[in-house]
Amino acid sequence: MSEREVEIGEIGEFRLIARIAELVGQRGEGVLIGIGDDTALLEPSRDFCLLATCDVQVEGVHFLREAISPSQLGRRTLAINLSDIAAMGGIPRWAILSLVLPPDLPLSWVDEFYAGLQSEGQLFQVSLVGGNLSRSPGPLIVDLTLFGEVEPDIVVERRGARPGDLLLVTGELGLAGAGLLLLRGKEVSREEGQELIQAFLTPRPRVREGRLIATSRLARAMIDLSDGLASDLHRLCEASGVGARIDAMRLPFPESVRRVARERGIEPLELVLFGGEDYELLVAVSPEDAPVLVRLLEDAGVSASLIGEVCPQSDGISMVFPDGSVRPLPSAGWDHFVRGKPHR
Ligand SMILES: [Mg+2]
């Protein structure tokens, strides 16, 4: 054997698929036929409906190969799909993966990618049941489809929020946005910085929490925060036909986010509202049920913050600033937000 790394273009598609099947290992639960036949054969649980979602990540658009390890990308690929299943209150089950790979990609990259995917899959009992490989003339592309299950009577949709409901968010916001800033800045020394970068590269999907929220039957509407609180709040409001008012003083974010933002001359709220990629859950819940749901989550070890309330659609979507002023909250763009006219 030479010292040179084997490239995937050298070993051919069939051998690569055989290698992947070996890496993926045995069939998971509900998998009657896994990788190797024309399709997978899956056995859904009785009285459950299927949830299906997919997410494509393109090198140069969604990630840079030099900024994320193959193992991290494998974990992340599954995690961002898991978050969507979580936001419906579902149980993740089976994944299908398409990889479009440049032929000079080292074989070790593929091995490490699958190792990351597998470790995330084991955490959430998801098995990979099929996929597709193709040669890419340029960027590396990773496209994952994830199936989950949920009882149709407890599924939580984006629509369902009503004026008077309170808005609850799990965990803390702005970490991934701060992590991305640090990655771009190329100055990562402190442990605190590593934590933020980790939050961006390998987010922790709120699968257990989403399930807890759905089975409690207390939530009226739910969405996961993939594009940022402002943007996803707009989506939930649009689906529900309502407006919302959030309170800047109640938005949960750690001191580390404040520090990173300040060091770079950015308002911390910019990361919290528009940073994106936090993969926390945003829930609308009636004022009577809100304390119960907060308690339920906290008892399960997850912080939960009530950050505002749902209003009639005619009130629009706005935020109360610490000085008491209220401004319309756009779905994106800090500059537009702070320069916009305050109202009332
Ligand atoms: Mg989503």
Cα 3 to ligand 1 centroid, rounded to whole Å: 44
Cα 32 to ligand 1 centroid, rounded to whole Å: 29
Cα 6 to ligand 1 centroid, rounded to whole Å: 37
**Interhelix angle 207-216/290-299, nearest 10 degrees:** 140
Cα 324 to ligand 1 centroid, rounded to whole Å: 31
Q: How far apart are the first and last CA of the chain?
A: 74
Cα 242 to ligand 1 centroid, rounded to whole Å: 19
Tokens 């911390």 belong to: 268
3-state DSSP call for residue 126?
Answer: coil
Cα 280 to ligand 1 centroid, rounded to whole Å: 10
Cα 163 to ligand 1 centroid, rounded to whole Å: 22
Ordered structural domains, the chain, with CATH: 8-150 (3.30.1330.10), 166-336 (3.90.650.10)
Cα 344 to ligand 1 centroid, rounded to whole Å: 33
- Predicted confidence at residue 343, as pLDDT, reads 61
3-state DSSP call for residue 337?
Answer: helix
Question: Which residues sit opposite 169 in a β-bridge?
Answer: 282, 305
Cα 167 to ligand 1 centroid, rounded to whole Å: 17
- Could you tell me where the beta strands, DSSP code E, fall in the chain? 31-33, 41-42, 49-58, 91-101, 127-135, 141-150, 166-170, 219-224, 242-247, 281-285, 304-312, 317-320, 326-328
- Predicted confidence at residue 13, as pLDDT, reads 81
Cα 107 to ligand 1 centroid, rounded to whole Å: 32
3-state DSSP call for residue 256?
Answer: helix
Question: Which residues sit opposite 91 in a β-bridge?
Answer: 149
Cα 225 to ligand 1 centroid, rounded to whole Å: 7
- Predicted confidence at residue 27, as pLDDT, reads 79
Cα 276 to ligand 1 centroid, rounded to whole Å: 12
- Predicted confidence at residue 24, as pLDDT, reads 81
- Predicted confidence at residue 188, as pLDDT, reads 54
Cα 124 to ligand 1 centroid, rounded to whole Å: 18
Cα–Cα dist 122/271, whole Å? 31
Cα–Cα dist 172/35, whole Å? 38
- Predicted confidence at residue 15, as pLDDT, reads 85
Cα 92 to ligand 1 centroid, rounded to whole Å: 14
- Predicted confidence at residue 35, as pLDDT, reads 87
Q: Tell me phi and psi for residue 245, to 5 degrees.
A: -130, 120
Cα 136 to ligand 1 centroid, rounded to whole Å: 28
Cα–Cα dist 41/83, whole Å? 24
pLDDT in tens, the chain (344 residues): 446 788 988 888 888 888 888 888 777 899 999 888 899 999 999 999 999 999 999 999 999 999 999 999 999 999 999 999 999 999 999 999 999 999 999 999 999 999 999 999 999 999 999 998 999 999 999 999 999 999 999 999 999 999 999 999 999 999 999 999 998 876 655 667 889 999 999 999 999 999 999 999 999 999 999 999 999 999 999 999 999 999 999 999 999 999 999 998 999 999 999 999 999 999 999 999 999 999 999 999 999 999 999 999 999 999 999 999 999 999 988 877 877 766 65
Contacts of 299 (CB under 8 A, 6+ apart): none
Cα 194 to ligand 1 centroid, rounded to whole Å: 26
- Report field, pTM of the whole predicted structure over 0.75: yes
Is residue 268 within 8 A of residue 258, CB to CB? The reply is yes
- Predicted confidence at residue 186, as pLDDT, reads 61
Cα 226 to ligand 1 centroid, rounded to whole Å: 6
Q: Following DSSP, what letter does each residue of 198-247 receive, concatenated? A: HHHHS----HHHHHHHHHHT-EEEEEE-SS-HHHHHHHHHHHHTEEEEEE
